Structures are given as structure tokens and as C-alpha cells.
A and B are shown apart, each in its own frame.
Chain A
């Protein structure tokens, strides 16, 4: 005679309804996450001279293009800036290279106030005012420690003013005018395959983080 399934097996097995409920819940949870993500995607205003990927500084006809992917919360970016700022300034001033700043917000988890995003949006304001390179240097000189609360907006405004930005800069930072732009810059960098900051690319090729490597890559094309 065929034996009935043992009670233990029956009790351990879930009903079809349970399985269906769990699967539906999982799919629903995924859909909610995706919906929230897409609902936040907006095309905001672009700063002066900027694209959705970054801000170009220097002669657009220059033979070399330097793509700088940086995060104002990233200590290695601050060190890179210290080592190469003079070289970059000189390459731009002499017309040998244009620089595309990509102020990405990768490191929001290292501050309690999303400093990466706020400083990145403020960089858009600085681009409007035409003082981005100087503003970037000041941000690095005053870089807040990882795991802190970042620089407050007031201090971002003060540094912008110090860099030479006009009266509109304060409102631009306080309103978060370029928050959406910051998000698009960050997303574009991610889609371009940039997984670390700083990432330095000259004419499409990644270069080492030294001033010599940068100069060599620019001059040899």
C-alpha cells in the first residue's frame, strides 16, 4: 500500500499561496525601488560652459583633453590636486590642453550631510561664475575629514566668494540649483566606467597620478 507523506514533510513544505505571496512581494519591492529611483531622475539646468558630464575649462581647440574625475570628499583627490595643480594650470594657460572637470558625488556615505553632492553642485555654481579651478583648489585646501559632517553651505559660499564668485553664488549654493546636474555628472561618470576617484584620462587614456605622467601624456598626445 502506498504510504502517505510523513507529517514532518508536510509541515515543512509551504503552501503554493505562501510561495506566490513571497514572489509577488519580492517583485513588488523591486518595482518600488526602481520607481523611486526613476522618479528622482530629472534634467536640471546646466551651469555655464557645462555639459551633463562636466565642465570644460581652457581652449576648446587645445590638442589634448584632460578628463579629471574627482570628488571633493576624496583625500586622494586632494593630494592629486596638490601635486598637479601647477602643471594643470600651466598646460591650460599655454593652450596645450583643455581640462574637463567631472565633480562626481561618489562618497556621500562618508559625511552626514551628503557633502559630496553639495560640493559637486557648488562646483556648478563656481562654473557659472567662471572660477571653478580656483574654487576646487580652495575646497581641497579646506577638505573636511571623512566620516564628519562636511563643510556647511555657508562655508562653501565663503570659499566661492574667496575664489572670486559674484553675489549670485550664495543663492545658487543655498538653493541647490545644480543638485540635478551633480547627479547627472555622477551618473555619466559611472556609465563611462569610472569606479575610483581620482581618475585622470588624457585623450581617452588613463594616466598615473603624478604631474610627470600627466605632462608626458599631454605632450606626447
Chain B
């Protein structure tokens, strides 16, 4: 990232980190909240991809909503940002692979990203392109956060300042 080399963008960098954290964390919170009330639907959505064996689909489908909420809270609060960003990137990569695979196999499903249970409404066509672009962008964002996890208004920053007194 060339921004680091010049002084004025460097002052902007912590705010970019904060914005990225809030964006990715906000998406996780929205996605998790839309699924947590109906774990059955979340399991159906994972099943609809026809990639995982039944037990694995249940683990992923039922486990994902709470994991998404947790990642959202961590990122918004700015706690353990680098680790949360790495986990986010791994999940996003999984979603990108899953959606691309569904597209390639000609499945007609909804990505289930926000709690649809993977079912398309009647007359609704899949929107794999948009879903892929969105998740790929979020994957890049997660990777950037993993590389530059610092930012304003984060718990990490608070504790780091207390633990190590370093000149800035």
C-alpha cells in the first residue's frame, strides 16, 4: 500500500482502518442477526450448495450465525482485530469458493448470505455475480485489515497504549 510512504495519507490511515473495521463488522452483524433466529434455515442454506456432507453442513449452518455475530462485535469494538480479520478472510474465501462452485454447477439457489435459507422465490433468478463481487470485496477488506489492523477507537489501541509506551 503506497499510502504509507507519504505523510498526509499516513495520518488518514488509522481512520481508514476504523472505517474498514466498522464496515466489515457491520456486515457480519447484519448477516449473523438475519440467521440467528432461524438456524434451520441457515442449515438449509448450507445444504443447498451440495458441497458438504450432512453433518458438516449442520455444523457450518448452525455454527455460522453466532460466529458472524462474534466477528462483528470484535471488529466493531476493535478487539483482536488482526485475528478477527484473518478469520473473516478465511470465511469470505470459503463463501467465494462456494458461490463460484454453485454458479459453475448451474445450481439455482440464493447464497443464503442474509438468512434466506438458500431458497429462491418464485421467478427469482440467482444473482451469483453480485454476491461474488460483494464477498470478494469484503475478502480484500479483511486482508487489508489483517495487514493494517490498527485504527482509531479500538480496544486494541487502548490496551496497546497502556502496555507499551512508544513514540508515535
A residues sitting closer than 8 Å to B (CB atoms) are: 7, 10-14, 18-19, 21-23, 25-26, 29-34, 36-38, 40, 74-76, 106-109, 183, 186-187, 190-191, 193, 195-198
B47 touches A186 (CB 8 A): no
With a cutoff of 8 Å between Cβ atoms, the chain B residues found around residue A190 in the complex are: 43-44, 47-48
B70 touches A33 (CB 8 A): no
Closest to B112 in A: A195
Q: Given known contacts A12-B148, A193-B50, is B69 in contact with A106 (CB within 8 Å)?
A: no
How far apart sit A210 and B26, CA to CA, in the bound complex (Å)? 44
Q: Given known contacts A12-B150, A196-B120, is B80 in contact with A34 (CB within 8 Å)?
A: no
Q: Given known contacts A11-B160, A26-B87, A186-B40, is B47 in contact with A33 (CB within 8 Å)?
A: no
With a cutoff of 8 Å between Cβ atoms, the chain A residues found around residue B81 in the complex are: 14
Partner of B120, one of A7, A10, A38, A195: A195
Q: Which of B59-67, B92-100, B132-140 contacts A (4 or more CB under 8 A)?
A: B59-67
Asked if B108 CB lies within 8 Å of chain A CBs, one says yes
With a cutoff of 8 Å between Cβ atoms, the chain A residues found around residue B66 in the complex are: 29-30, 32-33
Size range of the interface on B? 35 or more
Asked if B167 CB lies within 8 Å of chain A CBs, one says yes
A194 smallest CB distance to B (angstroms) = 9
A19 touches B80 (CB 8 A): yes
Number of A-B contacts (CB under 8 A): 122
A sample of 23 inter-chain contacts (CB < 8 A) reads: A7-B164, A11-B164, A12-B82, A12-B148, A12-B149, A14-B82, A18-B80, A18-B82, A19-B80, A23-B87, A29-B69, A32-B63, A33-B66, A33-B67, A34-B63, A109-B41, A183-B40, A186-B44, A190-B44, A191-B47, A195-B119, A197-B122, A198-B122
Closest to B63 in A: A30
A10 touches B119 (CB 8 A): no
Partner of B38, one of A76, A109, A191, A197: A109
With a cutoff of 8 Å between Cβ atoms, the chain A residues found around residue B123 in the complex are: 76
With a cutoff of 8 Å between Cβ atoms, the chain A residues found around residue B167 in the complex are: 7
Main secondary structure of the interface of A (DSSP, over half): helix
With a cutoff of 8 Å between Cβ atoms, the chain A residues found around residue B82 in the complex are: 12-14, 18-19
Q: Given known contacts A19-B83, A30-B67, A195-B119, is B62 in contact with A37 (CB within 8 Å)?
A: yes
Q: A18-B82, A186-B44 are in contact. List 10 more A-B contacts (CB 8 A).
A: A7-B164, A22-B83, A29-B63, A29-B66, A29-B70, A30-B64, A37-B61, A109-B41, A195-B119, A196-B122
B32 smallest CB distance to A (angstroms) = 9
How far apart sit A214 and B21, CA to CA, in the bound complex (Å)? 53
With a cutoff of 8 Å between Cβ atoms, the chain A residues found around residue B116 in the complex are: 109
Asked if B29 CB lies within 8 Å of chain A CBs, one says no
Partner of B44, one of A74, A106, A197: A106
How far apart sit A82 and B63, CA to CA, in the bound complex (Å)? 40
With a cutoff of 8 Å between Cβ atoms, the chain B residues found around residue A106 in the complex are: 41, 44, 117, 119
Partner of A22, one of B64, B87, B160, B164: B87
Q: Which of B80-110 contact A (CB under 8 A)?
A: 80-84, 87, 107-109
